[in-house]
Chain A
């Protein structure tokens, strides 16, 4: 009887470790994929933001990813804001804003361009 009990105990330990291992691998795999996707979208957002700043397309930037050399099927949200320090105080003005705001699966980058005013370019990429 003791023999049987100890065998069952041994089998249970092995099962627990096996389930724990499988569970960890699944969790790790899921997190890796999510993080990879987030990093990829963040990089896309950075590329788009830097191209908008480089080309100074602040009033009517393209919302088509292919125009930025991105072939993946992604959507882009762009907000461009101009902030100026005047004698009457600090004034802000929206130069451009995409119509649709994303909710999930996004990468983001905010860049700044300085001329006589400060221009803040915010790009959100989502799938």
Chain B
């Protein structure tokens, strides 16, 4: 009788192990196929539109003179207050020259877009600048 009871405990532990492992496997399978848990809001179009307007209006070229006030003023007005953003400027060797971000920016939930500047007012510049805008919600 004593051995029978021991066998029950071993069976229970074995059953628990099987249930645990099958749940782990099935939950991963269900997660990737039925519902995308990591899907966040798509802000790429907004980031891309804002950067395009920064080029069109000539504001983006302020980066060449290290003047960022107009860019920041524009971003504060264009991006809703409950959205976070981070703007970065890189040189052609991808060295970070400057960045600014809102306090509520969340890097784990952001979409980004970028532009490459290689001139100003129709004049080609030798130094290329890359501006990246990330927007999070």
Q: How far is the CA of A104 from the CA of B56 in the complex (A)?
A: 37
Q: How far is the CA of A118 from the CA of B41 in the complex (A)?
A: 21
Interface residues of B in 75-104 (CB under 8 A from A): 77-78, 80, 83
Q: Are B39 and A39 in contact (CB under 8 A)?
A: yes
Contact digits for B3-17, partner A, Cβ 8 Å, 1 yes 0 no: 011101101110110
A residues within 8 A CB of B8?
6-7, 10
Q: Are B6 and A6 in contact (CB under 8 A)?
A: yes
A20 nearest CB across to chain B (Å):
8
Contact digits for B46-79, partner A, Cβ 8 Å, 1 yes 0 no: 1011101100111100000000001001100110
Q: How far is the CA of A42 from the CA of B36 in the complex (A)?
A: 13
Q: Are A120 and B42 in contact (CB under 8 A)?
A: no
Q: Are A35 and B37 in contact (CB under 8 A)?
A: yes
B residues within 8 A CB of A95?
none
Q: Are A83 and B77 in contact (CB under 8 A)?
A: yes
A residues within 8 A CB of B78?
81, 83, 92, 118, 120
Q: Are A24 and B73 in contact (CB under 8 A)?
A: no
Interface residues of B in 1-42 (CB under 8 A from A): 1-2, 4-6, 8-9, 11-13, 15-16, 19-20, 23, 27, 30, 34-37, 39, 41-42
A85 nearest CB across to chain B (Å):
4
Q: Are B46 and A110 in contact (CB under 8 A)?
A: yes
Q: What 6 A-B pairs have minimum CB-CB distances, sorted nearest first?
A: A112-B49, A6-B5, A85-B57, A118-B53, A10-B12, A3-B5
Known contacts A7-B5, A10-B9, A11-B12; 8 additional CB pairs below 8 A are A17-B20, A36-B35, A39-B39, A85-B57, A85-B58, A109-B42, A113-B49, A120-B49
- Interface of B toward A, CB cutoff 8 Å: 1-2, 4-6, 8-9, 11-13, 15-16, 19-20, 23, 27, 30, 34-37, 39, 41-43, 45-46, 48-50, 52-53, 56-59, 70, 73-74, 77-78, 80, 83, 137
